[in-house]
Homo-oligomer: A and B are copies of this chain.
Amino acid sequence: MTGTSSRSTDAAHGPAARRSDASRSAILAAARERFAADGYERATIRAIAGDARIDPSMVMRYFGSKDGLFAAAVALDLRMPDVSQVPRTEVGQALVGHFLDIWEANEELTAVLRVAVTNQAGTERLQSIFREQVVPVARLVCPDPEQVAARAGLCAAQLLGLALTRYVVRLPPVVALAREEILAWLGPTVQRYLTAPSP
């Protein structure tokens, strides 16, 4: 792109652009798809490499191991919205809507969820996403600091349950729900878990 000539002048380009970047991202895309569709064990390196039209040994050279590939494929950023800009009474709906957005934008979250159920590394990945990206947002909304973790956990239970039944197990009635229905049903639930007085 930027003239292959400026190879030695990698001054401000961060990590020097490698000739194999196309293959790398092809592998990562295929990996996300396979992990999301099949889970960790059934997403074989051979299948991923086949999807990316590349030799399996290249996957090893680039990412070291299957675990390394998974770690590189799902470096997940939830892009949580700035809830301080949202009216206190609508934060529940806003969060549910945001989660629906990112869940349908790409397959990374589905991949993390599927893998987290059978793979230790996946479990830890999901736990760290919760700890580092979900809990801090709850901290901004939630009155009592001591209850932040529990309230965030309740929200995670509701939202992951929706994702599980809608995108993984695909219970027909849950798949059939329209976006507005989900917002109307789950929004108040999340709102209550975050802001209602402790029962």
Where the two chains meet, the residues of A that have a C-beta atom closer than 8 Å to any C-beta of B are 38-39, 41-42, 113-114, 116-118, 123, 126-127, 130, 149-150, 152-154, 156-162, 164-166, 168-174, 176-177, 181, 184-186, 188-189, 192-193, 199
**In the bound complex, how far is the Cα of B134 from the Cα of A171, in angstroms?**
12
A-B contact pairs, 30 of them (CB 8 A): A39-B41, A39-B118, A41-B42, A41-B118, A42-B118, A113-B117, A117-B118, A117-B164, A117-B168, A118-B118, A123-B170, A127-B172, A130-B171, A149-B172, A150-B176, A153-B171, A153-B173, A153-B174, A154-B185, A154-B186, A156-B165, A157-B158, A157-B164, A157-B165, A157-B174, A158-B189, A160-B169, A161-B161, A184-B199, A188-B192
